[in-house]
Structure 1
Amino acid sequence: MNGNENNKKAAARFLGFSLLGIFVFFIRIRLNGKSSIPIDHIVSFLKEALKDYYTYIICFLSGCTFLTKAVKKKVGRRFADILFFLLSAGSFVISGAVLLKAGPQSLLTAAEGAIQATGNILCAIFVSSVFIPLLVEYGLVDFCGMLCRPFMRRLFRTPGSSAVIGVSAFLGNYSMGHVVSRQMYEQGKFTEKETVIVAMGFSTCSVGLMLNLVNYLDLMEHWTVYVLCVLVITFTVTALVSRIFPISRKKEVYKEGVSPEMEPAVAGNRPAAAWREGIRRAEGAPDAFTAVKNILKRVFPVICEITGTSTCVITFGMLAASHTHFFSCLGIPFLPFLKAVGVDPGDLPWAVQAIGASIVEPVLAGVICTARDLGLRTRWIIAVVPYTAIVFFAGFIPSVWSCRINCRVWEMLLIWAERVILSIILAGAAAALLF
């Protein structure tokens, strides 16, 4: 096969897989009386098929995670290692208690809700992972990254390649963004400051978690607008937060002992260069089966860790939400901003509690507010802010630690507060314009 035929085949792969990925993730279709994106229909089918087995699945996965770490003595002395170990042990015990119907009724009720929420998260992440290669493996992300390169340095003070990491993390998982960011730092492609900006500003939760938030808050009919709004707000907030303390004080230095690798300048027509980059990526990409197999290998440990953290965290989060004012106290500093963007006074207690709960686990905000008679503007803000705030304890913070990214806990909490305030303002403005 000559070079021209190779290029045609690569172009066909680039266009075909990319268009299919756009259809699966962004185009609404009606099925069984429900209008939604194709991936949500698939997730709904899987949830219905597995919902009676969630407890067994979670008990098995958290048990495997806990026992593997214990038997292989993988629990280190770092807080993140100890935290993951204790949370996986807690999830194993909690799911076992639900199976045996053993324990206080309040604990079992919270645990059953947590298992349902975690099971829904796992289904969404699994299905999203199967289809993510359509967008990230065959050139679309690289094409968009090349087009975005001129804006990245100007807006976010990061290299153009960080656009690819941002979109990949958005479509995949925050841990992918953390791992790649650290790798770029170790290769001399990112400075310490650039690494922190990408890790704390681009490494968002997955589309799968977005699906859960939207479903809990009954916003699926606004899915496409919601995704676009979340993207715009996430990256707008990142551009702003990168210019204020504590990120603004991070050092513009490369890793010691590593030779810096600057991005080459793009000569000539940028769209044409972006097209060539997409074709190049498609040409070297694996077949669809191999791509899915490879990403599932990477995602499976993440699924196990999420199972081990979310079940335990959501259980105690729901207990705290039901029996204490803990999350309401956490959310009180944001009350003036929620009032300023026009949240209905009757909705304010739930909005404050949901925002406070988002520091523990984004989906917990949706769980707390599910089936509540909240206004559209309130539900919109609660669906947007936990995602665009990015930082949370159930998985994100330990992931940053495990990747040895130079950002302390108090700095992450301050970044979370900054992002929440800006996200509330922008989400409220978007709701006012849209609704």
Structure 2
Amino acid sequence: MKQEVNITVENTSQINAKKIMKFLIPSLFGIIMFLLPIPYNGTINTPVGVLSERLVSILSKYLPYAVVAITIISAIMSFVAKIFKPKFIMENKLLKDNFTTSHFYLFWRGVGAIIAILVLNKWGGEIIYSMDTGGTMMSLMSTLIVWFLAASYLMPFLMNFGAMDYTGTVLRSLVKPLFKLPGRSAVDLITSWVGNVNVGVVLTREQYDRGYYTGREAAIIATCFSAVSLPFCLVIAAMLGVDTAFIPFYITISVVGIVSTVIMCRIPPLSIIPDTYNAKIGKQIDEVVPEGISKHQWGLQKAIQKAELAGSLKEQILSGTEIFMGIIFSLVPIVIAWGTLALIIATYTPLFTWISYPFGYYLQFLGVEEAFKAAPATLAGFADMFIPAILAANIKSFETRFILGVLSIVQIVYMTEVGTLLITSNIPVKFKDLVLIFIEKTVIAIPLIILMTKLLL
């Protein structure tokens, strides 16, 4: 231990202004882009959110064609890689990583391409292309590919220059006992909570792939903190007619989100997901502060070491390209396929009504008005985040609409985005885990939301 301290002190003494600036400037840029709250169009957004929305408005008429092109390329290239294994794919790491897949995902990439073509051309009947089903998924993915584009090229500034390493060391004593997570996740938690939900999940995926989170840690962050953005919370509140009480609405979301996570990270299935690092990379994190040095000094040293290894701007662009391609070619066709099918089930079948009867009794026991009318909205969020608000919009009780609005946001796991991002990632989370996590979160959150509603309304 004595030798470790001497090395630490020696290294700390070599810290200079130039090295600090190399860590500080890119890191601050990344933090500002992802986390700085700014007023925009009558609400609060972040710079990456504003940038993404501007790009969406500029490119809107071309984006559906981009979605279809991505799904077709993904399906064809994956089929070629699977059957013929050509050298230009198998000997190129980027192409091989994106287009070599299992038979299961090859099938769904093909289905996603077919559905995207049908929706774009309005073929196959309204059950496929209406705005209740495939039309919604096409609109969603048209927006998301722009979010992914902006976030992918900005994310390296958040990950590669020491911001997470510094905060990890300084905040470990707070985050570790509360959520059983490493301190560096503090930046991820905030990004996941206040920013775009998909950006948060992608950031978590990248941290797991690079050896900074265990499977259990990544699963906790992705399923408990990847809530919809603040502007979308306003949209949900407005859809339900509870936006007049937005401040208590968002306070309730935050309190219930934190308390439910404290509980959920300590019970299965999250507590029993393997607490091991990505086998291909191994553990790349060390937040334990050696004796004889302060948290700030050790965190600064770790951050500077990270920044020194970050590389040039060209390398950051390459890193962003790898992140972007890794998302769009694996995610877009699967989300189109699974999301459309989930919305067809939710819209055209009584499945959610049938399976929600136990929650009707649960809500009734807890004193919620119009309990059985509200029950389908408690489970429909597993398919897509919009559905609960649509189902609950006609409920007369203000309190019940308030409760369901908060619940739809804190449930987090929905298959059209978060669920698919997780299942197609390397994080060791299976579909059955997501079902259990969703049900647990719902059961735990409802009484907490009701309590907060009684206190704040």
TM-score by length of structure 1 reads: 0.74
Q: How many residues align?
A: 414
CA RMSD of aligned residues (A): 4.6
Distance 2:317 2:366 in 1: 42
Q: How does 1:53-202 map to 2 (within 5 A)?
A: 53-73=62-82, 81-109=102-130, 110-157=133-180, 160=183, 172-174=199-201, 177-178=204-205, 180-181=207-208, 184=211, 195-202=214-221
Say if 1:18 and 1:219 are closer, same or farther in 2 by CA, change over 3 A: farther
How far apart are residue 416 of structure 1 and its match? 2.7
The correspondence for 1:415, drawn from 437, 441, 449, is: 437
Say if 1:286 and 1:212 are closer, same or farther in 2 by CA, change over 3 A: farther
Letter in 2 for 1:386: Q
CA deviations over 1:40-62 (Å, ceiling 9, x no partner): 32222222222222321111111
How far apart are residue 96 of structure 1 and its match? 1.3
Distance 2:277 2:37 in 1: 45
Distance 2:339 2:323 in 1: 24
User: Any stretches of 5+ residues in structure 2 without a counterpart?
Assistant: 1-11, 85-100
Q: How does 1:146-295 map to 2 (within 5 A)?
A: 146-157=169-180, 160=183, 172-174=199-201, 177-178=204-205, 180-181=207-208, 184=211, 195-204=214-223, 210=229, 213-214=232-233, 216-217=235-236, 234=257, 236-248=259-271, 263=286, 264-267=288-291, 268-288=293-313, 290-295=315-320
SS at match of 2:267: coil
Letter in 1 for 2:352: F
How far apart are residue 396 of structure 1 and its match? 3.6
Distance 2:331 2:299 in 1: 35
Distance 1:38 1:344 in 2: 40
Distance 2:151 2:157 in 1: 10
Letter in 1 for 2:229: M
Specify the structure having the higher radius of gyration (Cα). Answer: 2
Q: Does the 8 A contact of 1:355 with 1:385 survive in 2?
A: no
Distance 1:9 1:338 in 2: 59
SS at match of 2:266: coil
The correspondence for 1:322, drawn from 329, 333, 347, is: 347
Distance 1:398 1:74 in 2: 26
Say if 1:37 and 1:216 are closer, same or farther in 2 by CA, change over 3 A: same
Aligned-residue sequence identity (percent) comes to 19
Moved more, 315-324 or 158-167: 158-167
How far apart are residue 93 of structure 1 and its match? 1.3
Distance 2:170 2:411 in 1: 29
Q: Does the 8 A contact of 1:156 with 1:239 survive in 2?
A: yes
Q: Does the 8 A contact of 1:354 with 1:366 survive in 2?
A: yes
Moved more, 129-138 or 161-170: 161-170
Q: Does the 8 A contact of 1:62 with 1:88 survive in 2?
A: yes
Distance 2:362 2:353 in 1: 15
CA deviations over 1:4-56 (Å, ceiling 9, x no partner): 99731332344433444443334443456665333332222222222222321
CA deviations over 1:127-184 (Å, ceiling 9, x no partner): 2333333433332222221123234543344555666776787774536535654764
User: Any stretches of 5+ residues in structure 1 without a counterpart?
Assistant: none
Q: Does the 8 A contact of 1:31 with 1:41 survive in 2?
A: yes
Distance 1:207 1:246 in 2: 18
CA deviations over 1:205-255 (Å, ceiling 9, x no partner): 997963784465267999999999867755643432232234555677899
